[in-house]
Chains A and B, each alone.
Chain A
Amino acid sequence: MTTVGSSMRRSGRVSRRRPADSGRGAALVGQLFLGLLAALALAPVAWAVVSAFKPANQIVADPLGLDPSTLGLDNFRAMFQDVPMARGFANTAVVLVTKGALTLFFAPLAAYGFAKYDFRGRSLLFGTVLVTLMLPTVVLIIPLLLQMKELGWVNTYPALILPGAIDAFAVFWMRQVIAAIPDELLAAARVDGCSEFGIFWRIVLPCIRPAIAGLAVLTVMNIYNDFVWPVVVANSDRMSTLQVVLANLAQNITGNRIGADYATVTGELLAAASVALVPLLVAFVALQRHFVNGILAGSVKG
């Protein structure tokens, strides 16, 4: 601090001089760097979506070329015929709605309990939550799978929905946010005759709306993109989620599906990937402000 302080005092003499180094040149280099990064970020996705409309043999023969007159929906038609895509979407939708609702309601509720009440066992419980945040998710796969077998839940919705619903990270994040709400506000509501749940519903939830919006975007993304657990516990054709359907298709390329040539499978694959990522990208672009603000609201301070 002392060096900054002294430099400010010294700078008093030359205060007329504006910082000359950050001129147009530096700004241009910065713009170029960001532009290049953005292009690299978007290129693979853009390439995949555009290529999905090319004839399958052209994707393979000339991956960088583009002849607009040959573009068509052949890959999509073939893909929907060969791959249970609609079924995958339906299963993902069921899991998304139920698991998402569970997380978005019960995680803030539990976080409120942890943040604003002193009760027996609180530190122990919350300490356990913190420890599990550090555990690799793969660790739980073996015992969870055995547990599902015991319960008869393999290839059922409960197996896809219940493990990992109300996840520890959501509780941790929401607790940070709720802890910042002044206690006086809650006490005032209590004096006015508000019930304990009423305080949560009418005071706490409205207060943390930006963080909830951020959590909503993150939760939807995580559930939609979840892959490891579904592929282990629900890999039947009937129960496959979208990501499992996609992964099975990918294995056709690397595992050489019998009777299918590389070009055909590649075309179907890019069509499937495009269909899978477009809804999420559209939703994200529409909601990105909430996501970014939510992260900034619940961020660790530097």
Chain B
Amino acid sequence: MSTTTSSPVVTAPAVTAGSTRPSPPSRRRRNRLAPYVFVAPFVLLFAAFGVYPMAFTLRLSFTDWRGSGAASWVGVDNYTYLLTNPAFWSSLGNSAVLWLLVIPAQLVIALVAAVLLDSGRTRLRAFYRVAFLVPFVTPLVAVAQIWVVVFDENYGAVNAALGAVGLPDIGWLTTSTWAKPTLALLFIWKTTGFIVIILLSGLQAIDGDVYEAASLDGAGRARRLWSITVPLLRRTLLFAVVLQTLAVFQMFAEPFVVTQGGPYGSTTTAGLHLYNHITRADLGTGAANSFLLVVLVMAMSLVFVRLLRSED
């Protein structure tokens, strides 16, 4: 009893702090229900079309179901099949190569562009911001089609331009050497503007005095960028890397429209490989592939989050 008599004294101020006037009981009950009502529509849709299918996928990944008839339990067979299947590993390898082709180049371009846009001296800033975001808002399918036409080996504008300066035609989409860089170029073209805006938001949080001090100290432009901007911007930079890593490993629509995964499977990304299971009605294996991808993506996210933390 002694504890209960003392506790109201301690908690009383905290309770009254929220509402200075005591509200009638019916009103208070309504208040307690309010948050549940507010989150209910979201939670219901989320449970029905997010959590439920996720649980279903997990169960499916341990069966050999092909979309109809009875499913039989096969244990971890789907997983061992995938982990010993060269096609699965090469789809991951293709995504990894795309990551290497995209992320470093994109970060450097976006960083330089963002720093230039952030400097008060640059003219036409509003125009550049819009111009850089045009690729980002353009429908991916439309862009992918433009890519198909522009990079066509025989009739494309790019090879026409190369021919005009005496260079030989390149099979941008028809050789396994060039298909990945061509896709990476599409991805860089499409998303760099968005990364510029994200970095810009980080740059605007940096105190301008820091630069002033450094430039008075005689630090050159490149040096200031490397030893002041990059360290101060590291959280935003890492956020951009996480965002783009997830995007690259989920990349699906680009190869689906532009190359259909070819030539010789060189652009079959992790996402496209997963999709191919669906079209073959190999749903159990597809579900297992989904979860391997989930584990991979989450592991990578955790590594990045750890990096973010350790830097602080």
| A300 close to B236 (CB less than 8 A) | yes
Q: CA separation between A40 and B109, bound complex, in Å?
A: 12
A98 within 8 Å of B (CB atoms)? no
Q: CA separation between A275 and B193, bound complex, in Å?
A: 23
| A302 close to B131 (CB less than 8 A) | no
Residues of A within 8 A of B (CB): 4, 7-8, 10-11, 14-15, 17, 19, 21-22, 26-27, 30-31, 33-34, 37-38, 40-42, 44-45, 47-48, 59-64, 106-107, 109-110, 112-114, 116-117, 119, 122, 125, 128-129, 131-132, 134-147, 162-166, 168, 171, 183, 187, 190-191, 196-197, 200, 221, 224-225, 227-228, 232, 242-243, 246-247, 249-250, 253-254, 262, 266, 269-270, 272-273, 276-277, 280-281, 284-285, 288, 291-292, 295-296, 299-302
Q: CA separation between A162 and B49, bound complex, in Å?
A: 8
| A296 close to B216 (CB less than 8 A) | no
Residues of A within 8 Å of B109, CB to CB, are 37
Name 5 interchain pairs, CB-CB below 8 A, sorted by A: A37-B113, A45-B143, A139-B54, A183-B18, A284-B137
- CB 8 Å contact bits of B239-259 with A (1 = contact, 0 = none): 100000010011011000100
- Contacts A140-B50, A232-B278 aside, 7 further interface pairs with beta carbons under 8 A come to A14-B216, A34-B117, A41-B132, A146-B56, A197-B38, A225-B140, A269-B148
| A47 close to B290 (CB less than 8 A) | no
B35 within 8 Å of A (CB atoms)? yes
| B130 close to A285 (CB less than 8 A) | yes
Q: CA separation between A38 and B126, bound complex, in Å?
A: 12
Q: How far is the CB of A183 from chain B (nearest CB, A)?
A: 8
Q: CA separation between A295 and B130, bound complex, in Å?
A: 14
Residues of A within 8 Å of B202, CB to CB, are 299-302
With A139-B57, A147-B53, A250-B145 known as contacts, the answer to whether A197 contacts B34 (CB < 8 A) is: yes
B232 within 8 Å of A (CB atoms)? yes
The A-B contact count (CB < 8 A) is 326
Among B41, B51, B135, B149, find the residue whose CB has the most chain A CB atoms closer than 10 A.
B149
| B113 close to A190 (CB less than 8 A) | no
Q: How far is the CB of B128 from chain A (nearest CB, A)?
A: 5
| B132 close to A190 (CB less than 8 A) | no
With A38-B132, A166-B42 known as contacts, the answer to whether A136 contacts B139 (CB < 8 A) is: no
A170's nearest neighbour on chain B, judged by CB, is: B42
Q: CA separation between A8 and B283, bound complex, in Å?
A: 65
Residues of B within 8 Å of A109, CB to CB, are 38-39, 41-42
When the two chains form the complex, which single residue of B18, B34, B233 contacts A187, counting CB atoms closer than 8 Å? Answer: B18
With A63-B155, A106-B41, A144-B49 known as contacts, the answer to whether A295 contacts B116 (CB < 8 A) is: no
Q: CA separation between A144 and B253, bound complex, in Å?
A: 18
When the two chains form the complex, which single residue of B57, B113, B160 contacts A143, counting CB atoms closer than 8 Å? Answer: B57
Interface residues of B in 158-205 (CB under 8 A from A): 160-161, 164, 189, 193, 197-198, 200-205
Interface residues of B in 198-216 (CB under 8 A from A): 198, 200-206, 210, 213-216
B53's nearest neighbour on chain A, judged by CB, is: A143
B274 within 8 Å of A (CB atoms)? yes
Q: How far is the CB of A13 from chain B (nearest CB, A)?
A: 10
Among A37, A128, A162, A269, find the residue whose CB has the most chain B CB atoms closer than 10 A.
A37
| B297 close to A135 (CB less than 8 A) | yes
Q: CA separation between A77 and B128, bound complex, in Å?
A: 34
Interface residues of B in 87-123 (CB under 8 A from A): 109, 112-113, 116-117, 119, 121-123
With A11-B213, A31-B122, A143-B54 known as contacts, the answer to whether A114 contacts B301 (CB < 8 A) is: no
Q: CA separation between A112 and B221, bound complex, in Å?
A: 44
| B253 close to A137 (CB less than 8 A) | no
Q: CA separation between A84 and B167, bound complex, in Å?
A: 40
Q: How far is the CB of A112 from chain B (nearest CB, A)?
A: 6
Q: How far is the CB of A289 from chain B (nearest CB, A)?
A: 8
Residues of B within 8 Å of A302, CB to CB, are 201-203, 205-206, 232-236
Q: How far is the CB of B291 from chain A (nearest CB, A)?
A: 8
Q: CA separation between A132 and B51, bound complex, in Å?
A: 9
Q: How far is the CB of B235 from chain A (nearest CB, A)?
A: 5
B82 within 8 Å of A (CB atoms)? no
Q: How far is the CB of B160 from chain A (nearest CB, A)?
A: 5
| B57 close to A21 (CB less than 8 A) | no
B226 within 8 Å of A (CB atoms)? no
B220 within 8 Å of A (CB atoms)? yes
| A30 close to B122 (CB less than 8 A) | yes
B52 within 8 Å of A (CB atoms)? yes
Residues of B within 8 Å of A128, CB to CB, are 46, 51
Q: How far is the CB of B199 from chain A (nearest CB, A)?
A: 8
With A27-B121, A37-B113, A41-B131 known as contacts, the answer to whether A10 contacts B197 (CB < 8 A) is: no
| B189 close to A33 (CB less than 8 A) | no
| B156 close to A63 (CB less than 8 A) | yes
With A106-B42, A136-B271, A299-B202 known as contacts, the answer to whether A38 contacts B127 (CB < 8 A) is: yes
Q: How far is the CB of A125 from chain B (nearest CB, A)?
A: 6
With A129-B46, A142-B287 known as contacts, the answer to whether A136 contacts B128 (CB < 8 A) is: no
Interface residues of B in 26-59 (CB under 8 A from A): 30-32, 34-39, 41-43, 45-46, 48-54, 56-57
Q: CA separation between A163 and B38, bound complex, in Å?
A: 19
B72 within 8 Å of A (CB atoms)? no
Residues of B within 8 Å of A266, CB to CB, are 149, 155
With A146-B56, A187-B19 known as contacts, the answer to whether A19 contacts B149 (CB < 8 A) is: no
Q: CA separation between A26 and B135, bound complex, in Å?
A: 27
